[in-house]
Structures are given as C-alpha cells and as structure tokens.
Amino acid sequence: MARTESTHSVLMGYLLWIFGFIGAHRFYYGRQISGVIWFFTLGLFFIGWIIDLLLIPGMSRQADRRFIPGPKDYDLTWILLTFLGWLGIHRLYMGKWVTGIIYMLSAGLLGLGILWDFLTLNEQLSDVNADY
C-alpha cells in the first residue's frame, strides 16, 4: 500500500523556487546533484530555473514517495536551515542537541556544516522520522 502522507509541499517548492537559480528548490526535493549544478550555473543560465516552474509538482510527488514522513516536519526544518542554519536551530528541532550547540558556537561550522545539511537534510529527517 502506498503512503498518502506528504513530506514535501508544492507551495514550499514554489517559495524556494524564487531562490531556485541557486538550487534551493532542488535541494529541498532531494536533488542534490542538480541543485549543485543550478548553484554554479545560476539555474542553467536561468533557462532550467524557468522550466522548473512546470516540474515542481512532479518533484514534490517523487520526494513524498522517497522520504519517510513522521513527527519532524520537512517544511519547517528546511525553513529553519535556510534562514537560521548558522544558529543550528534546525538541528535542535531534529533533536541533535550537541551539533546544534556546536553550530551556534561556530556559525554553522563556519558555513561548511550548513552546506553539508543542504546536501543531506532530507536523509537526516527520514532517519529521525524512522526512529519514531
């Protein structure tokens, strides 16, 4: 039986698409490779960024099938990472207190930890949600 609970919203995808020329929406949907490509090419020179307007609903459905739903909300965690990542609030929300405090004291490990979390956050949330 297929899961019906959503992990990634289309609305959040479109909100992150505004910053999509740097790959934000692609990272959110678990597409790290194309997210990195979008980051370094400004959304494939803005052409891929425009095309993604049509692709976001499909990316959302694929992410819903791929990642494990649970009590830790993907949208909230991505907002916390995107805007407060350097403070580690997203890590505290996931129950990762030690690394959350380390992020607070080191500005997200000088930004490298934030980059790592952009690449791995969906998997981290799936692991946390699977433990419930």
Q: What would the pLDDT profile of 25-66 be if each residue is shown by its tens digit?
A: 999 999 999 999 999 999 999 999 999 999 999 999 999 999
Q: Is residue 4 part of a domain?
A: no
The domain containing residue 108 runs over which residues? 74-130
pLDDT digits (tens, 9 = 90+) for 81-131: 999 999 999 999 999 999 999 999 999 999 999 999 999 999 999 999 999
Alpha carbons 10 and 31: distance in angstroms, whole number:
15
> Is residue 53 located within the same domain as residue 88?
no
pTM score of the predicted model: 0.89
CB-neighbour burial class of residue 3 (10 A; exposed 0-12, middle 13-18, buried 19+): exposed
Question: Which tokens belong to 32?
Answer: 């790290």
> Is residue 91 located within the same domain as residue 111?
yes
Asked if residue 42 lies in contact with residue 22, where contact means CB atoms within 8 angstroms, the answer is yes
- What is the number of structural domains in the chain? 2
Q: Is residue 112 part of a domain?
A: yes
Question: Which tokens belong to 58?
Answer: 């499909």
Asked if residue 63 lies in contact with residue 7, where contact means CB atoms within 8 angstroms, the answer is yes
